[in-house]
Structure 1
Amino acid sequence: MPSLLLFWVHFFLFFDFIFPSLSGPFFPEKNLTLFGDAYFRNNVIGLTQELSCLSSSSSPSPPPPSSSSAVGRAFYVYPIRFLDSTTNSTASFSCRFSFSIIPSSLCPSGDGIAFLITSNAESFSSSRGYMGLPDQALYAQDPFFAVEFDTSYDPSLGDINGNHVGIDVSTIISAASVDVFSSGIDLKSGRQITAWIEYRDAMKMIRVWVGYSHIRPPSPILVTQIDLSNQFKEFMHVGFSASNGQGASIHVIDHWQFKTFGSLPSTIPADTSEEGDCFICFSEEPSSSADYYARRKKVEEIAFGLGGLGAFVFSAVAIFAVICFFLIKKRVHIRKCKERLNCKVQTNRVPGRLSLAEIKSATMAFNPSRIVGEGASATVYRGSLPSGREVAVKRFERANRMDCMRNPFTTEFATMVGCLRHKNLVQLQGWCCERNELVLVYEYLPKGSLNKVLHKHSNSAIVLSWNQRLSIVLGVASALTYLHEECERQIIHRDVKTCNIMLDAEFNAKLGDFGLAEVYEHSSVTRDATIPAGTMGYLAPEYVYSGVPTKKTDVYSFGVVVLEVATGRRPVDDGGKVLVDLVWELWGKGKLIEAADRRLMGKFDVVEMERMLLVGLSCAHPDHEKRPPVKEAARILRGEAPLPLLPARKPRVKIRPVLPDDSSAEDCQSLDDLPWMTPKSHLSKD
């Protein structure tokens, strides 16, 4: 009878412990497969044992028992389907769990804990450490994905410190990581920490949130683009792994919720959960793991002491009252949570999804008369929403309409949905991904592109004044400074040109078109070579040759834009003359001011004009190491920094390593001495 009573106490007091793909009453321990040191006790998953170690001669403690592997794993008992082989579609997933890492007071900390998705639940590390993640030397055929909460610093693995979150893809060396001290989180504090992990296959994006509260923070601590469709097999095992290595910590999972959902284009979300506003709300604030164990032990002692039918009846009544209390409390908590989240959504103003019917109504069914711009991958229409607000509707083209991932739409949407808020960036107003259509909706800027104002209206009354030109260049510089240095992640635009600089009614510049953008963590020094993409005349020579985009490749394009605005000339004229070469020639002859746009008819400040031309040449310097950051270029333009020092003639183009560890200075080559063996490039003339 006491055992029956204890079961009911366990069941009712811990009814909020959630496992995926389950409904109704269940025995949680039967839904887990445990490996190594892992155990299930009191509805809590323990991944490592409480070990002791020798801290000093004065405090003798026995070494860890030989029976302990120092590694523990817990997986959901059934494999979960992630890949539909018939449609070749990959599932997205979201996960929320609470965990505690309680280090020993006498020993070094353990290695940490990892959320793990693997094709082989029995693929362990060959050592006692590395959080028990699979050893690729032994299990190369078994891909895995992990989000590690690492409490051990190992420089050989590229660890940034002993308190970081990292994303691992089939290797224990993280593809991306972030220091969580910067967010006020100490993984080894022993406090209960809640983590949210979300993968959106439509955007190939992983986002991780971490906090002490059970309310998800407004901004993720780690965001990175990773394509897991190549890593997932049809069925994968989902769970957790932890290890102590040479240390001793208790790694505990208190709550867990996991789900998969479809990856069709129509599921591309705004920044809200698919479970509704209160998907992230808990019924109550649990105590720490230490209090948890003490409370459970006390409950067991009381339960065994009661015994008998009378005690059971009394306890059942008490439990019923407790359930009612918590249900009422949960209802109140959910209401408050909704109020907070509704407020948060109104504050963040996340771009909303629009229906295809709304898009067609705004553009008169994509009427050709509404076209205001055309590019290699999209057509832009002028539209009007029912509210009366004018918008620019960017309709993307693709050969296979069901292949959403092979289109610049994905890159641009993933970049813009990160809430790029800056006065000199074109703002995303909404999006549509329905049937065969991929559409992004932006604010409408009535003056159109800078390219049209500079070149298409050469013989009209629209001639930008000198003050307007200076303001436009400084606006573009402000936008690039934000992307390169001030944004949460570093963004390389890769297609800075006058066609992508839009002008509002007051001729303020706004940079747009992020279809070729690359997103990096600020701490990353790794840049993968890509097929060079962009527009002839704006591409840096080292980028065309190596295919590696950096801040300095954007600086080069910015320099060409500066010269284009100052001179009114195209980057490459109809006769094939390159603007940068022309200005260098005038600089060498001491006639730099002759490069000024003749349509200004001398109505400009000569000192400011020379300053702008020198900044353009400096930013478009053939040697990327000599180009100033955009922020410094803006200071020069405003007269807050000295003019750049330039040689009397254009230097020979040298190809140096773009990244710090590529090669030595002796490897530099001159393009003047080499044939033009440029790799295949995605280039356009406009």
Structure 2
Amino acid sequence: MTLGQSALPLLFFYHPVTVMGSCNCLLWLMMLCSSCLLCLLEYPVLVSSHNDKRLSSGPLVNVSKHLSFPDFSSSNPSVYQDVKLLGSAKFSDDKASLQIPDASQAVDLRHQAGRAIYSAPIRLFDPPTQTPASFQTTFSFQFNNSYGKGTSNSSSGLGSSGFAFIIVPDEFTVGRPGPWLAMLNDACDDDYKSVAIEFDTHKNPEFGDPNDNHVGINLGTIVSTTTRIVSLKDGSMHRAWISYDGLHRWMDLRLGSDNSGYPSQPTFSGPLDISPYLKEYMFVGFSASTGNHTQIHNILSWNFTSTSQASLLVPSTETCESKVIVNGGQSTNSSKTKAPSSFLIFLAVVVLGLAVLLNLYYNGKRRHKEPSVVLLSEKKQRPQPPNKPRRFTISEISSATRCFSDSQELGSDSRGTFYKGTLLNGSHVAVKRFSAQFLSSQGLDRRRIMKEIGAVSRVRHPNLVPIRGWCKDNRELWLCMIIFPMEALTSGYSELVFFLGPGDSRW
């Protein structure tokens, strides 16, 4: 019997407002006394057993992991064993490379997403010291424009979305296509830990991209923490060198031609703490995607080395021989299992006496009162108004607007862009996608946005567009409204819903 097992039946039957008779009171006190004595007798044994199994911490040691893939040809058997492909990705024998997307399977190369992940987790964080691992990785890559089925030649030279070197917590998630670069999807909540170095060839102003040729560092979100303008779409082979010092929280990123050697000047070099976005074991690899234009992302070679600190666990020095009973049944560790001291027994008796006096006192006061039972009222659920706006998922909004296709665009201004959409139930809606610059410039937080959406949804006016719902993801905001005929749209439709600006009361 353990401490939790002995106390559980007592806590189950006892209720402070239940009026007990003298017999029930004495019975309860006897059970309490016996439970306390048993716990006191067994407590030294439990502590001794726990201490015997404990492993002491030793000195810090370095744990290293090294990966090397000179190419990704089928003649290298370790490629198929060590690299796991997800989504639209394949090993190409033509270039001995890893290709995303897979042009041999996709009917339409637009809006494709894929990943290539090293199949085993790597220790990249030490929880006791909260120290991230140090790592170095280098890889060569090349972008090729492709005119897959359903893609016109007008895509040439425009780039697509790009690819990223990723550090993620699992080996089965595939992110969304388009500007998300297959890094994140709707299943990734706010606590999804990830680190990515993106090589982007398409400008997405809503994500703060400076242009259509840049590298960025992403920490737990698709919006880059920092970006640098580079040249990626020239068709040549590039090589990236990424080095991270976990002890000093410092990252160094260099980018150059594959045959030009190690660049003398870094593309980015500065302090960067990635520890909040790491678990103890993470997966490393690549992700890539395409949007409205197509592009083949080729990873030609890859090397990765990590070094993390860990405490060496030293096993107990106790041996089997030390537990053998010798000298007339006396054990070498008999002192650990000796009976409790007289002080503990005295303490148990004092507690028992106080419990008896308290129960007799309260029973005397309640003797002439009727028994009472306290019933806890069940928490009532507030009814949901039928016309109250609901929260949509990013998947619903993206599906309704066909991944925010240009053909669905109704108009735009400094605050964002309007899209025409169709929900899964067939309802036609208009989706307002607010730009990140507008939201940040206005200083809008989640509480204020929800307050104003709720206020507008309660107003019924013939000149006010009814709100169907909303969606918010990190720094983005989408507003879903009932769509009106073209005559209504051209007569000030966009002026009716811009209620998020300070002092704007035109609606």
Same fold (TM over 0.5): no
Shorter-chain TM band: 0.3 to 0.5
Higher strand content, 1 or 2: 2
Q: TM-score, normalised by structure 2?
A: 0.42
Q: TM-score, normalised by structure 1?
A: 0.32
Q: Which has the higher contact order (CA 8 A, sep 6+)?
A: 2
Higher helix content, 1 or 2: 1
